[in-house]
A and B are shown apart, each in its own frame.
Chain A
Amino acid sequence: DTGVSQDPRHKITKRGQNVTFRCDPISEHNRLYWYRQTLGQGPEFLTYFQNEAQLEKSRLLSDRFSAERPKGSFSTLEIQRTEQGDSAMYLCASSRTGGRDGYTFGSGTRLTVV
């Protein structure tokens, strides 16, 4: 068990470009979550998968954002036509039950849009 892995750790992109982030959860965790964290704030929920099914999406997730979890394993988060307001830390977390065993977070992908 190597924990939750996120790639890349850092991404600098020009406004208008598309970016894609990857998250590899803990293998026995069937629940996967994406969060966004801006400077000085707590993480905000973006979306949630149980296995390959995307069960919940925040209204923060505009139509420029899309997330997938093919085969219920790794997940990708794509942002199209990036804007400066998309600059943030994107955190992935996985969980087995979502209860007292907790949610395990990755180290995040820090996106800077210039």
Chain B
Amino acid sequence: AQKITQTQPGMFVQEKEAVTLDCTYDTSDPSYGLFWYKQPSSGEMIFLIYQGSYDQQNATEGRYSLNFQKARKSANLVISASQLGDSAMYFCAMSGIIQGAQKLVFGQGTRLTINP
């Protein structure tokens, strides 16, 4: 079974600082994908970044980067130069590619608050 653990219920960061949101995972599948989603108070889940288990380089998308450490089974999200609009819930999720990526398994989330 796949499991995602996010140990930070809440994070408070000053605007323009970088922030790291932690995510560890557990799976027996040799091939998998890791995702980060942002959920503002309006409720929609916004896809931020993806890392495949066999990708040679860490994923980056604009201000978002994923610090992927396969041996430690961690996939931390780094947001550089945080903005007030980054305040939201952030979810780490995993999908098993071998089974055709049938579903995402989510962590419990981290609430990020950016202070001006």
Interface residue ranges, A against B (CB under 8 Å):
33, 35, 40-45, 48, 55-56, 89, 91, 93, 95, 97-100, 102-108, 110
Contacts and interface: CB of A to CB of B under 8 A. Distances in A.
B47 interface: yes
Q: Which 7 A-B pairs have the closest CB atoms?
A: A98-B101, A42-B106, A105-B45, A102-B47, A45-B103, A107-B44, A100-B50
Interface of B: 4, 33, 35, 37, 42-47, 50, 52, 91, 93, 95, 97, 100-109
Contacts, number: 67
Nearest to B55: A100
A103 B101 CA distance: 10
A97 B101 contact: yes
Given A56-B103, A99-B101, A42 B109 contact: yes
A98 B95 contact: yes
A99 B47 contact: no
A110 B43 CA distance: 9
A91 B52 CA distance: 24
A108 B47 contact: no
A45 B44 contact: no
B80 to A, nearest CB: 21
A89 to B, nearest CB: 6
25 contacts: A40-B108, A41-B108, A42-B93, A42-B107, A42-B108, A43-B91, A43-B104, A45-B103, A48-B102, A55-B102, A91-B45, A93-B45, A98-B97, A98-B100, A99-B101, A100-B33, A100-B50, A102-B35, A102-B47, A103-B35, A103-B95, A105-B37, A106-B44, A108-B43, A110-B43
